[in-house]
Structure 1
Amino acid sequence: MLNIIIEEKDNFYRQGLKTFITEMFSTDHGDALFFTGVLCSHSVKTADIIIKSFLPGESRVCHQIFQSRKHSSLVIGIYDGNKKPHSVDLPLCFDNIVFISRADSLIKVKKFIQRGWEDCCQENTKKIYRSCLACKHRTLSPREINIAEHFYSGMGTEEIARNLQINPKTVGAHKRTIMLKFNLNSDSELLGLLHHLKLKPSISNCFYNYTDSHI
């Protein structure tokens, strides 16, 4: 029995994934499958495969819920566009992860998943220690949090500079640093990530803690 989580808002894409994964594993591996759409602290502990959509930059932030997942489980990250998220220097909870694009062909998707699953099976006997202290998830400095909060509230560079009484070039420099940290390409991607962080309370989510305390 394989336990599979599919966290995906697009109903058609989620159903397509379910059908594709069923055909792939029941035919090629002869496994019985159990699907759930709920990614929580309970389901993640027993999941063999976790399929999750990622916003730009989201794969670089802390996801505490993944810390308790099985050491032999496979994470399949779904992303939009042509820019594949970096697979190096990711948070430790994302060991054994493969990324697939919504635009990838079924042949390519199957190849990526098969390769990732084979790697997981080979590492099944290995004990992987996931320490938050050694994790490489990205965080924001206090000044970056302050500037990001102003961007999130709808302010532009000049307005933020006046509000904080700093040079507009300084605001721009901090913004570029944030974009580089999370591999973002546009203001819309930045705002999307900040919105995600605002809704995800965790110990390491400084942006959530800052905005929550300033409401």
Structure 2
Amino acid sequence: MLNIAIDDKDALYRNGMEIFLEEIFLEEQKESVQFNCLTKTNAIQADIIVKSFVAGAEYICQPMLKYRSKPGMIIGIYSGDKSPYHEKLPLCIKNIVFVNRSEPLYTARKQVVQGWKDNIENPELLPCKKCLKCKYRTLTPQQMTIAKYLLRGNDIIDIAHLLGIHVKTVSAHKRLMMSKFNLSSDCDLLHFLNNLEKHSPPIHLFMD
């Protein structure tokens, strides 16, 4: 039996994904499947991980995924027109298969089946624990501070006043953050920072 761990807040999409994957693996692999919510515990041994990605998340470390102890497939679910693939994906998601939420079923099926063959039939040693060799991106200390205030709802004028720096400096840091993580809008930036805060607890990025 294949263990599939899913992290997605959209219950309707999640249910559809479960039906979709069950059909694929019963037909292609003659394997029954068991679904669970993704946790730090089951991420280690899951055969397949399905995880939603907000814009920019494909550039950062994924702590929950880097301790996997067995080869398996990661399916990254994303929205929007921008492809999240890039040359220096973090090692913990190096072999990820990205699927767009609006992807036609036949192309999503093709991607998943090929990804399964690549990751399971030709397993490689997991590189994800070699963090020092990973090219994942981070925020600078100043950007972390500015990010904290942005998440609290402060605008750049407020932040400049609170930090005692010029508003243009705050604006420049904000633009650098958006450029570093390939974000197109303030909405994308806030979603990204909120996701970073929730999924990077060991770093305590935004704690006072």
Taking structure 2 as the reference length, the TM-score comes to 0.91
SS at match of 1:30: coil
Residue 63 (structure 2) pairs with residue 64 (structure 1): yes
Contact 2:73/2:120 (<8 A) preserved: no
Between 45-54 and 160-169, the greater mean CA deviation after superposition:
160-169
CA distance in 1, matches of 2:177, 2:31: 44
- Deviation, 1:46, is 1.8
- Deviation, 1:168, is 2.2
Q: Which runs of 5+ in 1 are unaligned?
A: none
The residue aligned with 2:39 is: 40
The residue aligned with 1:22 is: 22
Residue 101 of structure 1 aligns to which amino acid in structure 2?
A: N
1:9-38 CA deviation, whole Å, 9 max, x = no partner? 22221111111111111012211212112x
SS at match of 2:83: coil
Residue 197 of structure 2 aligns to which amino acid in structure 1?
A: K
Contact 1:72/1:123 (<8 A) preserved: no
SS at match of 1:46: coil
CA distance in 2, matches of 1:138, 1:33: 35
1:121-179 CA deviation, whole Å, 9 max, x = no partner? 2431x323331222222211111112222222222222322332322222121111111
CA distance in 2, matches of 1:175, 1:201: 20
- Seen in structure 2, the aligned counterparts of structure 1 residues 87 and 69 have a Cα distance that, compared at 3 Å, is farther
The residue aligned with 1:128 is: 126
The residue aligned with 1:101 is: 100
- Deviation, 1:71, is 4.1
- Deviation, 1:92, is 0.9
SS at match of 1:118: helix
SS at match of 1:107: helix
Q: CA RMSD in A?
A: 1.7
State the identity %. 38
CA distance in 2, matches of 1:42, 1:152: 29
Residue 201 of structure 2 aligns to which amino acid in structure 1?
A: S
CA distance in 1, matches of 2:69, 2:103: 27
Residue 192 of structure 1 aligns to which amino acid in structure 2?
A: H
- Deviation, 1:202, is 3.3
Residue 74 of structure 2 aligns to which amino acid in structure 1?
A: V
- Deviation, 1:102, is 0.8
Residue 131 of structure 1 aligns to which amino acid in structure 2?
A: K
Q: Which runs of 5+ in 2 are unaligned?
A: none
- Seen in structure 2, the aligned counterparts of structure 1 residues 197 and 163 have a Cα distance that, compared at 3 Å, is same
- Deviation, 1:80, is 1.2
Runs of 4+ in 1 over 6 A off after TM superposition: none
Task: Report how many residues are paired.
Answer: 207
The residue aligned with 1:152 is: 151
Residue 49 of structure 1 aligns to which amino acid in structure 2?
A: I
The residue aligned with 2:50 is: 51
Residue 175 of structure 1 aligns to which amino acid in structure 2?
A: K
Contact 2:89/2:136 (<8 A) preserved: yes
Taking structure 1 as the reference length, the TM-score comes to 0.88
1:58-109 CA deviation, whole Å, 9 max, x = no partner? 2222222211224421100001122221243121111220111111100110
The residue aligned with 1:197 is: 196
